[in-house]
Amino acid sequence: MRQFIISAGKYLFSLTVAVGLMYYVFHDWDFSDLAERFKQVNYGWVLLSVVLSVISHALRAYRWNLLLGPMGYSSLSVYRTFKAVMVGYLTNLAAPRLGEIARCGILKRTDNVNMSASIGTVVAERIFDFLVLLALILLAFILEFDRISHFFAGFINDKYAGMNLTTYKLGLLLIFGFILAASVFTLWWFRERIKKKPFYYKIRSFLREMTDGFTSVLRLERKAGFWVSTVFIWLLYYVMAYVLFFSVASTSHLGLAAGLSILIMGGLGMSAPVQGGFGTYHLLVGSILLTYGIAEKDGYFFATLVHASQTVAVMAIGGLSLLLTLPEKKKEIVEPKK
């Protein structure tokens, strides 16, 4: 019951943040104006963006297959992992971060893929994608330093106006250090008692399997496939947002560097622990476009167009994938190589 209350509280908090940010972005909009803007969109570019996004999802499924291969699951097809990936994206629209568990659960049910190991490969994916995002942020700072530095400086000043930031950072550091030290001391003090509990061995076994999944990237037979697919996944993320510049007149003049700024702000927005990046994506992408001279409503509309097109695609393809998966029987039970 306690765990349910905690989970429900986290869910409601993230939902409240999403709703609050969406209200902040759209509270002064005339929705007849919004509808008129959608009528003026060139949907040929939107369709191209959606097609590129689907290709990126397929590449993600292919890359996941490569990570699962060293675990003994080399017989999995991209089609089956693609459906699992899309169900995961669909789940994230309702419950942030649950999508990663959902897609591992799909493969567990259909192909008997070990949950702990597959979660480990997903963690490996996320870490590598995070490192790529950091590299892109660094590149964007080099290419668009003035705009991005002013954007973040303005955001911090608005958020912490009147606050001593040095004191604030020091306080956070001390609190984090105290919690970390207290946790380590507690585990050390009660280590013998903890080892006698059944859950200790379950956790240890789970962590070993998860570590095995995470380190699968070191045992890849096709390392080139992993790195090439990673590069193309992010390249497609970039292009599928960039081509949408041409779908509306207000952004059609923006260049390649602006596309990079959209990519990193969109990545940060979608990484936030809210349902499907609602609110966070709109706010960050719309706000960064202000630095390129785009009017506030034009920027928020562009963000809405990108987010809505991808959300509709995920709902359609993810929903179809779920329908195809639910009645599916196990193709075969595959066991990890010993």
pLDDT band at 191 (very low <50, low <70, confident <90, very high): low
Q: Residue 88: what pLDDT?
A: 94
For the stretch 259-300, pLDDT in tens is 998 999 898 888 888 888 888 899 999 988 988 989 989 999
List the structure tokens of 235.
Answer: 């390249």
Each residue's pLDDT tens digit, 61-119: 999 999 888 777 877 889 999 999 999 999 998 888 788 899 999 998 888 888 888 88
Q: For residue 233, count CB atoms less than 10 angstroms from its CB and return exposed for 0-12, middle for 13-18, buried for 19 or more.
A: buried
What's residue 44's pLDDT? 96
Q: Does 158 score more than 80 pLDDT?
A: no
Separation between Cα atoms, residue 115 and residue 106, nearest integer Å: 10
Tell me which amino acid residue 321 is: S
Residue 160 has pLDDT above 80, yes or no: no
Over 60: is that where the pLDDT of 60 sits?
yes
Query: Residue 236: pLDDT above 90?
Result: yes
- pLDDT computed for residue 303 by the predictor: 94
Residue 213 has pLDDT above 60, yes or no: no
At how many degrees (to 10) do helices 43-68 and 296-325 cross? 50
Q: Which band of pLDDT confidence, cut at 50, 70 and 90, is reported for residue 16?
A: confident
Q: Where are the domains of the chain?
A: 33-325
Q: Are 78 and 54 in contact (CB under 8 A)?
A: no
Q: Where are the alpha helices (DSSP H) in the chain?
A: 2-26, 31-39, 43-68, 78-94, 98-111, 115-143, 145-159, 165-189, 191-195, 198-214, 223-242, 256-271, 280-290, 296-325
Instruction: Give the pair of three-digit tokens for residue 5.
Output: 């209350």
**Is the pLDDT reported for residue 246 higher than 70?**
yes
Does residue 305 register a pLDDT over 60? yes
pLDDT at 89: 94
Kindly report the CA angle at 176 between 274 and 21, in degrees rounded to 5? 20
333 pLDDT more than 50: no
